[in-house]
């Protein structure tokens, strides 16, 4: 999946570049064009906005963006069933499990750093 980002908002443009770094491509070679303004003339257009016509509403997470783009890509390329199968197999609760484990890991690391700092202070 090759994606081009063309947004009038510099903040959204930079966010998309960071989120989609592995998928970015030039406009001429892309499968999907992500824009922050509605476009009716291009099937490849993927509109991000706040209104009802948007393919993805703001605010969004990286995982929501990737999933929405994969669904859009599957619609544009129905012969590639691999993407559709992967989307159907994904469990929304799985994202939260990964997030919970990551938060737990960071919390434990933070706690051990605080304890280490307090011990170092009192050992002087």
* pLDDT for position 14: 92
Which range marks the domain in which residue 28 is found?
Answer: 3-90
35 shares a domain with 76: yes
54 shares a domain with 86: yes
Q: Give every CB contact of residue 101 below 8 A, 6+ residues apart in sequence.
A: none
What would the pLDDT profile of 85-95 be if each residue is shown by its tens digit?
555 555 555 56
* pLDDT for position 86: 53
42 shares a domain with 25: yes
77 shares a domain with 103: no
112 shares a domain with 74: no
Whether the pLDDT of residue 69 is over 60: the answer is: yes
**Rounded mean pLDDT of the chain?**
83
For strands 45-49 and 3-6, give the pairing.
unpaired
CB atoms within 10 A of CB 31: 17
Which among 61, 59, 31 is positioned nearest to 46, based on CA atoms?
31
Q: Give every CB contact of residue 105 below 8 A, 6+ residues apart in sequence.
A: none
38 shares a domain with 21: yes
**Confidence (pTM):** 0.60
Whether the pLDDT of residue 83 is over 50: the answer is: no
85 shares a domain with 98: no
Domain count, the chain: 2
């Amino acid at each position: 999946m090759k994606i081009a980002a063309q947004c009038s908002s510099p903040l959204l443009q930079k966010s998309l570049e960071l989120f989609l770094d592995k998928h970015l491509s030039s406009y001429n070679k892309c499968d999907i064009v992500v824009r922050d303004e509605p476009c009716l003339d291009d099937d490849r257009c993927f509109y991000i906005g706040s209104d009802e016509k948007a393919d993805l509403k703001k605010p969004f997470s990286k995982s929501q963006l990737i999933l929405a783009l994969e669904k859009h890509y599957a619609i544009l390329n129905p012969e590639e069933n691999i993407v559709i199968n992967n989307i159907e197999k994904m469990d929304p609760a799985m994202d939260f499990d990964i997030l919970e484990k990551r938060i737990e890991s960071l919390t434990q690391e933070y706690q051990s750093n605080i304890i280490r700092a307090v011990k170092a202070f009192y050992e002087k």
